[in-house]
Copies of this chain bind each other. A is one copy, B any other.
């Protein structure tokens, strides 16, 4: 088999959707998959099943690939530094990825840059409870590493509430509980040459700490805030030397400010709308960015695009249900990830677009509900 042009570590849905973009661009991907037949392994012939925490496995995958990128942010940084030292281009590199892997480092770095963010304090394993009490309540306690989709996050109103968070000696931090009206997300693609393109800022709606739906662009967003969010994403990507897609998750506060909540350095759930809704999808721009190809336009193709996640629910056979959904909503775009259904697991998403937001939102929600519960409630 000819050499790949890109190695991708991790075989989840993000790698799967990268492959969809890679087919068009003629980019050969080699994949490191966690297990046989995971989401991306189903669609990337040149894949190896192995452990991404094992340096020799990583070395074998990237051997003849000029560039390596990631489906997730969990590859040990010391391994990435080793690969870099051996001459491989890791995009994003470990020096940038650090700030998506460790919330403490991220908070410290963004504070140093003067980026608006919730007030925060590190909670050391010795004296952490005292530091929390001094910081004050209510507060949000987070593990600095490994949390996602609401896991590793506790809203606490007293030191007693924080008992679970402190039950192991994970590094923690506390943040102010922000009084926000909604969550926004600013995506940016950046190449090693420094070319940067920001996507329209979107509204992200969560349910139980998990992204449920995304509206592009964020409805009624003050153009000044849209510009501020995009400028912030561009500045963070540039100063942290991110390559590929950077997602900056933001709070829009009740008093009209933007505060950075989280960073992700990979294609992001809040950018899935772009596959059907933008001139260049986040997956295509991620590939173009990490391979240092010129980036594509990030403009929306329709006045409104709405992405709704399909979370595992009562419907077990998504493939059989596909016919039901398409019969109800023939023009919604379906994206199934080839995953088995487990309660709450992201197993796909749907995107609708068009000129009328209420209609677009209703169509996307109905379709996702048909995949999740098997019935619609409107």
A binding-site residues for B, Cβ under 8 Å: 1-2, 5, 16-17, 19-20, 23-28, 37, 41-45, 47, 275, 279-280, 288, 292-297, 301, 318-319, 322-323, 326-327, 330-331, 333-338, 348
Contacts and interface: CB of A to CB of B under 8 A. Distances in A.
Contacts of A295: 330
A293 B318 CA distance: 13
A19 B327 CA distance: 22
A319 B26 CA distance: 7
Nearest to A17: B23
Contacts of A296: 326, 330-331
Main secondary structure of the interface of A (DSSP, over half): loop
B338 A26 contact: yes
Contact of A43 (B19, B297, B337): B19
10 contacts: A2-B37, A20-B23, A24-B334, A24-B335, A26-B319, A26-B338, A28-B338, A45-B45, A292-B323, A294-B323
A42 B28 contact: yes
Given A297-B330, A322-B293, A20 B25 contact: no
A25 B350 CA distance: 10
A26 B330 contact: no
Contact of A331 (B20, B279, B348): B279
Nearest to A279: B331
Closest 5 CB pairs of A and B: A26-B336, A294-B326, A45-B45, A294-B327, A297-B331
B326 A293 contact: yes
A338 B22 CA distance: 11
B20 A330 contact: no
Given A2-B37, A43-B45, A297-B330, A19 B23 contact: yes
Contact of A318 (B19, B26, B327): B26
Given A293-B322, A293-B326, A296-B331, 6 more contacts: A20-B24, A25-B336, A26-B318, A27-B319, A279-B331, A293-B323
